[in-house]
Structure 1
Amino acid sequence: MSSWLVPVAVAVVVVVWAGVRHAQAARSDALLDEHARRRVAPGAAAVSPVAVWREANRLFRCGDREGLLLLAEIGRRVPRRRQAVVDTWLAALRGGVSRGLDVEWRSRVQRELVSHLRPGGDFWPGMDVVAPGAILVDLDLSGCRVGRVDLVGAVFVGDARFGAATVTGDADFSGARFLRHAVFTDALFARSASWSLAVFTGNVSWRSTQVAGSLVAAGAKVSGRADLRGAEVYGTADFRRARFGGRALFGGVVLHRDALFGHAWFRGRTDVGSALIGESAEFDHTRFGRRVLSGDQGDQRA
């Protein structure tokens, strides 16, 4: 390519990109303006932001897609409203079961939510995900970056994906039920994370997960494989009374402080090759249903 064509090509790309951004902004403005015009009689005063917010909430609670889009536009235009918008979407995922699961509507709300939690052009930083008891369908928060997570007692229908997610606050999945596979591979928890009494029907992967505080899985039940290879926990790791029905892979895990396995039950093969525990390890009344592999044995079977 001739040298003079390079700057021309760059200029064309910049112009196209600017045009796309301008068109998106224009569509956002048009959506709210058109919504206001349809609801205001000729000659009446303009609709206030509070009225738009209430109308968006009303439409959303009725299951109207326009309400979902209006809330998203309010969040884009008014950053201080973003957490309220996220909370509204999450509230919908906590209820409505009496009318049926309505997988399509829940999936649509989740897609809109995730589009603002994953870094990119429409990212809303610092959002907390607080939805105890929510019913979530094939939730995919992979690569998302959020603040605090409270999904205590949540039910995950289908796979739950949190791979490479970053949680800057505490994360609490206590009592949650994962009805298929759960993936936390390469996730970063900047504070503590709890899966106390959680139930995993399928496999769970904490492979290469990092937890800056404590990891609590006391009383958790895993029917499938539990993969913690390469995980690193800087606080206490609490697996007391946990039940591992399938293979438990602890190869290369680094537990910087105490590791508590009292009354835990490992029914499948347990691989602990090159696992490191920084302080004390408690295995009082721990049961192993099959042999424990360590060192080269664990590496060969990984």
Structure 2
Amino acid sequence: MIGVMPTWVMWLVVALVVVAVAVRHHRRSRADTLLDEHARRRAGAAAPTPVSVWREANRLFRAGDREGLLLLAEIGRAVPRRRQDVLDTWLAALRGGVGRGLDAPWRTAVQRELVSHLRPGDDFWPGMDVRAVGAILVDFDLSGCRVGRVDFSGAVFVGDARFAAMTVTGEATFDGARFLRHAVFTDSLFARSVSFVLAVFTGNLAFSGVRVAGEAWLRSAKVSGRADLRRAEFGGPADLAEVFFGGRALFGEVVFHRDALFSRSWFRGWTDVGSALIGEAAEFDGVRFGRRVLR
């Protein structure tokens, strides 16, 4: 009969629903068990409270104990309203140096746990802000993540920093950040504004295919390697004044929907601006070119 679901399909759907419910129940049970067992072990027979569990998890984490890291993650899974607090705790620890007991392997473990909740999937925590002012990040990779507001002002990125296909729904700030190797932002989406004022890129800057809905500031930034902005799209005014481009600067097919400011920038290497479009005013006062410019 047309429109009637075959029996085997119906049983397959039922089985999938049962499996999904079982998995969710198992995860919740695992979180509750871990919290309860840990509280009993640390507090004896006394009944655990959310405050005591939170404090104990923070104490262990600050001491560099992996159990503290995992316990904080379980608190975030079990109590969604504490998720932003958990992320802030992890990021606060990443502001310290090796002298605070956070060596590279531990720092990498904290970053891996943090990122696992920012990338859409089974353990995704939506709507999280990333407040990483002054953080020291090792081979940091937010590729494919979806976050709210991000603030990496003054952060230091050791090794490659990857933000490919990242979505930022809030304001994005990288002012004064230092990228000690390559920075990859290919195909990222900034739904509001983004700022890289005084940022330093020691290696290459991959900004191709990036979309910025609002304003973009790169004023006084320094890019020692290649700057690839091909096919990038800027919805608001773009301020690239006083930027130093040490290597190739590629602007092919870039679209500036509004003003584009390049005043006093220095293009030391080979520069390609072919097919670039500027919707409103463009300023090139005092711009210096060290090599050939392709148009």
TM-score, normalised by the number of residues in structure 1: 0.91
How many angstroms does 1:11 deviate by?
4.7
Q: Distance in 2 between matches of 1:172 and 1:178?
A: 14
Q: Secondary structure at the match of 1:117?
A: coil
The structure-2 alpha-carbon separation of the partners of 1:248 and 1:193, relative to structure 1 and needing over 3 Å to count, comes to same
RMSD: 1.6
Q: Distance in 2 between matches of 1:101 and 1:123?
A: 25
User: Is 1:22 paired with 2:25?
Assistant: yes
Residue in structure 1 matched with residue 216 of structure 2 by the alignment: 215
Q: Distance in 2 between matches of 1:83 and 1:9?
A: 38
Deviations 1:148-196 (A, max 9, x none): 1111110001111111111111111011111111111111111110111
Q: Match of 1:172, as an amino acid?
A: T
Q: Distance in 2 between matches of 1:204 and 1:254?
A: 18
Please identify, of 81-90 and 93-102, the stretch whose mean Cα deviation from structure 2 is larger: 93-102
Q: Match of 2:244, as an amino acid?
A: R
Q: Match of 1:265, as an amino acid?
A: W
Q: How does 1:66-215 map to 2 (within 5 A)?
A: 66-99=67-100, 102-215=103-216
Q: Distance in 1 between matches of 2:18 and 2:126?
A: 28
Q: Distance in 2 between matches of 1:104 and 1:215?
A: 35
In percent, how many aligned pairs have the same letter? 72
Q: Distance in 1 between matches of 2:15 and 2:222?
A: 57
Q: Distance in 2 between matches of 1:22 and 1:41?
A: 27
How many angstroms does 1:13 deviate by?
4.5
Deviations 1:274-298 (A, max 9, x none): 100011111111011111112xxxx
Q: Secondary structure at the match of 2:219?
A: coil
Q: Distance in 1 between matches of 2:87 and 2:210?
A: 26
Q: Distance in 2 between matches of 1:112 and 1:250?
A: 36
- Unpaired runs of 5+ residues, structure 2, are 1-5
Aligned residues: 290
The answer to whether the 8 A contact 2:221-2:243 is kept is yes
Q: Secondary structure at the match of 2:83?
A: helix
Residue in structure 2 matched with residue 36 of structure 1 by the alignment: 39
Q: Match of 1:268, as an amino acid?
A: G
The answer to whether the 8 A contact 2:228-2:251 is kept is yes
How many angstroms does 1:128 deviate by?
1.0
Q: How does 1:246-261 map to 2 (within 5 A)?
A: 246-261=247-262
How many angstroms does 1:71 deviate by?
0.9
How many angstroms does 1:15 deviate by?
4.0
The answer to whether the 8 A contact 2:96-2:102 is kept is no
How many angstroms does 1:101 deviate by?
5.7
Please identify, of 143-152 and 33-42, the stretch whose mean Cα deviation from structure 2 is larger: 33-42
Q: Distance in 1 between matches of 2:256 and 2:277?
A: 6
How many angstroms does 1:5 deviate by?
5.2
How many angstroms does 1:132 deviate by?
1.0
Residue in structure 2 matched with residue 299 of structure 1 by the alignment: none
The answer to whether the 8 A contact 2:187-2:207 is kept is yes
Q: Match of 2:33, as an amino acid?
A: A
Q: Distance in 2 between matches of 1:11 and 1:102?
A: 48
TM-score, normalised by the number of residues in structure 2: 0.93
Q: Distance in 2 between matches of 1:215 and 1:24?
A: 42
Q: Distance in 2 between matches of 1:47 and 1:165?
A: 39
How many angstroms does 1:14 deviate by?
4.4
